[in-house]
Amino acid sequence: MVRRAELFLISVLISLVTLAGSLPAGPTLPSGEPVPRYELRLEVQFDPSGPRFTGHERLEYVNGEGAALSELYLRLYPNSGLTYGAGALGLAEVKVDGTPVEPLLQSGGAIALIPLREPLPAGGELVLELDFAGIVPQNFASWNGSSYGIYDYSGGVLKLANWFPILAAYDEAGWHLDPFYNWGDAVYSETANFEVSITAPAEQVVVASGTELEQTPNGDGTVTHHYTAELMRDFFVAMSPSFRRLTTQIGATQVNSYYLEGDAYGGQSALEIAAQAVDLFNRRFGLYPFPEVDLLETPLPWAGGVEYPGVVLISDKLYGPEDYMARQELQFAMIVSHEVSHQWWYSLVGNDVIREPWLDEALATYSSGIYAQELLGPAAYQALRSDWEANWRRARAQASAPITAPLEQFYNNSIYYGIVYCGGALFYDELRATLGDETFFAGLQAYFARFEYGVAKTEALLAIFEEVAGQELDELYDRWLFAPVGSAHGGAG
Ligand SMILES: [Zn+2]
């Protein structure tokens, strides 16, 4: 007879042996947990009718979820409409461990259930292979007034957010297959390793997550760009013949500012702000671990900026000649520093951007406030804080969802911004005043260190500040974060 404890030990040993024999190449999480490894091939063609792309994906997946899985889920975001407009992403030749399988498409093709012939045990691994092809909408403004322009071809700039089938996030609640909305971000995904080759016409300047290892001319007017991105939770690609680059070094990180031809003044200004922000956030939050971060000026009709791992998009509407930019100096610095801080909050410390969007957005907004205080001075911070208060007051008159509510409870971008970004930043302002600088930043650093590459939850963030402060903060938390907001709210403003 084997006692239960011995059985447990045996099963641990078996799973250790299974893991040791079959770990995919590339780094694991600091906890030793394996991460998926994507090998992606992307080929982009520009026809007179617009850009098209085809690709191949090979995904090595080790089941680190602690439970057997009877299927996998892939998200095909470009089939979701909304911000992806008339875009599409199709699948073909799907194989699991070399055997063809028939994916079951759901939600208008935006979700693919990949059936497994037998359940994949915890620690078991498989290789998923598939071909894909995509269509990219053009000139967003003409077809969708709410597109961010993240999956789009306009003004000679091709942006490919979510161009490949990506694993849905999985946690103790199971697979996350939430829809998204016409406000906020769409993609909740987990840290993975990427090896990516991108073939495009030679005149295209390619900007992507990760680091470019080399370029290979193919002798037919195209070039293949080879990228690696380790421990990132998504892989973004953009290209245009009009991108120009300025660059500087902050510690071990190369900061690149790509701007559209003719906007060198804005490109230089963005580079300086981003470099200062990386330096400041390295000191305040913890070290950015990657060798590169890219800023990218691009047409974005309805957003000031959008964040991806290793790449930050900034709207071309904010760039211009010196006198134009001088009139909106604070706004430009706030948008650039907000988006740069998302490399810490969202990219490194992940969160469910559909169910707990405040985790990254409130902190990114407050991070731009830290930038204002330390780089621009107290008057700039006061101006920013007044702006947060005005937006927070305005939004509270229109909705009652608390700062920590899921995305679905905010009815549009303006309410969402006022409550989650501005109300959330004001919460951090009061939290910092309550705890003092030393304890407040020790809390942020502990949060970053504990969840770097992982996924944080609201409860854990709040517990860390109580732990570091050595005091209960329930009254502050309830008043700011959980009580319905409404106009009777007792918080600042
Ligand atoms: Zn943001």
Q: What is the pLDDT of residue 14?
A: 39
All structural domains of the chain, each given as residue ranges with its CATH number in brackets, are: 22-239 (2.60.40.1730), 242-343 (1.10.390.10), 358-482 (1.10.390.10)
| 336 Cα–ligand 1 center, Å | 10
| 311 Cα–ligand 1 center, Å | 13
pLDDT in tens, 368-420: 999 999 999 999 999 999 999 999 999 999 999 999 999 999 988 899 999 99
**Contact between residue 206 and residue 178 where contact means Cβ atoms under 8 Å apart:** no
State how far the Cα of 493 lies from the Cα of 490, in Å rounded to an integer: 8
Sheet of 166-167: strands edge to edge? 104-106, 111-120, 69-75, 166-167
| 150 Cα–ligand 1 center, Å | 14
Across residues 140-159, what is the average pLDDT? 79
Tell whether the model's pLDDT for residue 353 goes beyond 90: yes
| 309 Cα–ligand 1 center, Å | 13
Across residues 252-278, what is the average pLDDT? 98
Q: Count of CB atoms within 10 A of residue 25's CB?
A: 9
Q: What is the pLDDT of residue 485?
A: 81
Q: What is the mean pLDDT of the chain?
A: 92
> Which residues lie at CB < 5 A from ion ligand 1?
361, 364
**Contact between residue 270 and residue 257 where contact means Cβ atoms under 8 Å apart:** yes
Tell whether the model's pLDDT for residue 36 goes beyond 70: yes
**What is the sign, positive or negative, of the torsion defined by CA atoms of 486, 487, 488, 493?**
positive
Tell whether the model's pLDDT for residue 229 goes beyond 50: yes
| 55 Cα–ligand 1 center, Å | 30
| 341 Cα–ligand 1 center, Å | 9
From residue 254, give the alpha-carbon distance in Å to each of 174, 267, 289, 294, 471: 38, 15, 11, 8, 40
Across residues 157-180, what is the average pLDDT? 95
**Contact between residue 233 and residue 192 where contact means Cβ atoms under 8 Å apart:** yes
Confidence of residue 144 (pLDDT cuts 50, 70, 90): low
State how far the Cα of 199 lies from the Cα of 426, in Å rounded to an integer: 46
Task: Please state the three-class secondary structure of the chain as a single string.
Answer: CCCHHHHHHHHHHHHHHHHHHHCCCCCCCCCCCCCCEEEEEEEEEEECCEEEEEEEEEEEEECCCCCCEEEEEEECHHHHCHHHCCCEEEEEEEEECCEECCCEEEHHHCEEEEEEEEEECCCCEEEEEEEEEEECCECHHHCCCCCCCCEEEECCEEEECCCCCEECCEECCEECCCCCCCCCCCCCCCCEEEEEEEEEECCCEEEECCEEEEEEECCCCEEEEEEEEEEECCCCEEEECCEEEEEEEECCEEEEEEEECCCHHHHHHHHHHHHHHHHHHHHHCCCCCCCEEEEEEECCCCCCEEEECCEEEEEHHHCCCHHHHHCCHHHHHHHHHHHHHCCCECCCEECCCCCCCHHHHHHHHHHHHHHHHHHHCHHHHHHHHHHHHHHHHHHHCCCCCCCCCCHHHCCCHHHHHHHHHHHHHHHHHHHHHHHCHHHHHHHHHHHHHHHCCCECCHHHHHHHHHHHHCCCCHHHHHHHHHCCCCCCCCCCC
pLDDT in tens, 412-471: 889 999 999 999 999 999 999 999 999 999 999 999 999 999 999 999 999 999 999 999
| 73 Cα–ligand 1 center, Å | 27
Tell whether the model's pLDDT for residue 325 goes beyond 90: yes
From residue 36, give the alpha-carbon distance in Å to each of 61, 293, 307, 452: 5, 22, 22, 17
| 421 Cα–ligand 1 center, Å | 8
| 125 Cα–ligand 1 center, Å | 35
| 325 Cα–ligand 1 center, Å | 21
State how far the Cα of 223 lies from the Cα of 201, in Å rounded to an integer: 6
| 428 Cα–ligand 1 center, Å | 15
| 113 Cα–ligand 1 center, Å | 30
Across residues 46-60, what is the average pLDDT? 95
**What is the sign, positive or negative, of the torsion defined by CA atoms of 47, 94, 195, 64?**
positive
**Paired sense of beta strands 292-298 and 311-315, if any:** parallel
| 111 Cα–ligand 1 center, Å | 25
Tell whether the model's pLDDT for residue 23 goes beyond 70: no
pLDDT in tens, 77-136: 999 988 888 899 999 999 999 999 999 999 999 999 999 999 999 999 999 999 999 999
Structure tokens at 145: 């007034």
